[in-house]
Chains A and B, each alone.
Chain A
Amino acid sequence: MISTDVIVIGAGPVGLFAVHQLGIIGLKAEIIDNLNKVGGQCSELYPDKPIYDIPGIPKCTGETLTENLMEQIEPFGSKIHLNERVQEVVKEGTKWKVTTSKQKIFNTSAIIIAGGVGSFEPRKFSLKDSENFEGKSIFYSVKDKSFFENKDICIFGGGDSALDWSIELSKKSKVTLVHRRDEFRGANKSIEIVNKLKKDGKIQVETPYQLESIEGKDKIKSVMIKNEDGKNKKIKADILLGFFGLIMQLGPIANWGLGMDKKTIAVNTENFETNQKGIFAVGDICSYPGKLKLILSGFHETALAARGCFKYARPNEKYRFEFTTTSKSIKKRLGVKNDKQE
């Protein structure tokens, strides 16, 4: 069991900045995120796109913002637990017990939920049968390439993942690429390569088609694809790969007894506490009148939520308002030795 002052759920931009706001007031935090990297939507959905509305930073990409936030929280040495989803949150005495999908258990005085719109999961085939084959002959990512050798593979999707994997897997397998329209939205270079492979007969490309049905009992034998005019085609396949991007699923957060308003958690705007004492919600996941789903709003929310955590983590102390420019104790926490201008 790991004991800490505050658990931050979600390592998106807002969760990362929460660690900073907790750190400067002297609270220890640990962060948990379901993804294999930090940055939330910024690094998962738009790493290369510039953001123009971060105060004081005229332009920076999602990736740069994430890197800068990581640098900003480095002095606090907070542990980041990736690839773990928080499953359960239960009150134990005056503390909270937090359990992850890897059965890691935390004991904490307060919790800040910065879960965005939930955890990212691949969008799946809409066909009901597809669930039965998932993990056996239907996949939404390629982990071990060797598994996909010498097979008949049908790849669905029109973005970079679909194109890149079609190119890669066609070296050792027979690949059919299926997309719902004639245009692909991936990088021009990949589209060119796919067109060339198609011309050379190394890849079969079927557009505008979508999956209609799957044939086979324990194993997939073939699939039927259909176009908008109702024309069907049968494609021999033993493996299907779907690359339809990511969807955010709220997941376990809905079961923690918090006041949910559709997919968001209702909070007060004084300190962003939820209906449960000691649990705060900030960033995209919280809702209150006038809420804007912006990074800058999330940052503001963490400043107040962190102060809200103070009374649970240090019940016998009084929080004192200080500036980072002038407070000795904050500078000590930041590891600043000498900040005199040279």
Chain B
Amino acid sequence: MAKITYIENNKEEHVVEVPNGNTVMEGAVQNNIPGIDADCGGAMACATCHIYVDEKWYDKIKKKEDGEEDMIDMAFEPNKFSRLSCQITVSDDLDGLIVRMPSKQS
């Protein structure tokens, strides 16, 4: 279980507990947190689950696998802290994680 803070582009914060094994994307969608569309349902095929990981957390998260960076090319306003939230699996290590949503997903 990890407590994750999702910050919308308008600064609104949502703090939820996400069970281990779920993805950061699922944590948002299942709790009706706006700002993550996840059109492809987590198959790394849409880039509409794009988030910016908090600077302090970025290096603590498991590195991107093949294909994620390519998909991020298509995300809206990517930067060096960009990740696809469907590719981050929650574990106890992520307790306290902070992620921010872009102004829109498409």
Interface residues of A (CB under 8 A from B): 45, 117, 123, 126, 157-159, 179-181, 183, 185, 210, 228, 244-245, 247-249, 263, 293
Contacts and interface: CB of A to CB of B under 8 A. Distances in A.
A280 to B, nearest CB: 21
Contacts of A183: 69
B6 to A, nearest CB: 17
A126 B77 contact: yes
Main SS of chain A's interface residues? loop
B41 interface: yes
A245 B37 contact: no
Contact of A245 (B39, B69, B73, B77): B73
Interface string B60-81: 0000000001100110111110
Nearest to A179: B73
B39 A263 contact: yes
B106 interface: yes
B45 A244 contact: no
Nearest to B45: A45
8 contacts: A117-B40, A123-B74, A126-B76, A185-B73, A210-B77, A245-B74, A247-B106, A248-B39
A179 B72 CA distance: 12
Given A126-B76, A247-B48, A293-B41, 19 more contacts: A117-B40, A117-B46, A123-B76, A157-B73, A158-B73, A159-B73, A180-B73, A181-B73, A185-B69, A210-B77, A228-B79, A245-B73, A245-B74, A247-B74, A247-B106, A248-B39, A248-B46, A263-B37, A293-B40
A211 to B, nearest CB: 10
Interface of B: 37, 39-41, 43, 45-48, 69-70, 73-74, 76-80, 103, 106
Contacts of A117: 39-40, 46
Contacts, number: 42
A244 B71 CA distance: 10
B80 A228 contact: yes
A283 to B, nearest CB: 13
Contact of B73 (A244, A248, A249): A244
Contacts of A179: 73
A29 B26 CA distance: 38
A137 to B, nearest CB: 21
A179 B76 CA distance: 14
Contact of B69 (A159, A181, A228): A181
Contacts of A247: 48, 74, 106
B63 to A, nearest CB: 15
A157 B37 CA distance: 23
B51 to A, nearest CB: 16
A228 B48 CA distance: 22
A247 B105 CA distance: 10
Contacts of B79: 228
A183 B37 CA distance: 27
- The 6 lowest CB-CB distance pairs between A and B, nearest first, are A245-B74, A247-B106, A185-B70, A126-B77, A228-B80, A117-B39
A263 B29 CA distance: 13
Contacts of B74: 123, 244-245, 247
A229 B70 CA distance: 21
A293 B37 CA distance: 15
Q: Which of B40, B45, B73, B80 has the most CB of A within 10 A?
A: B73
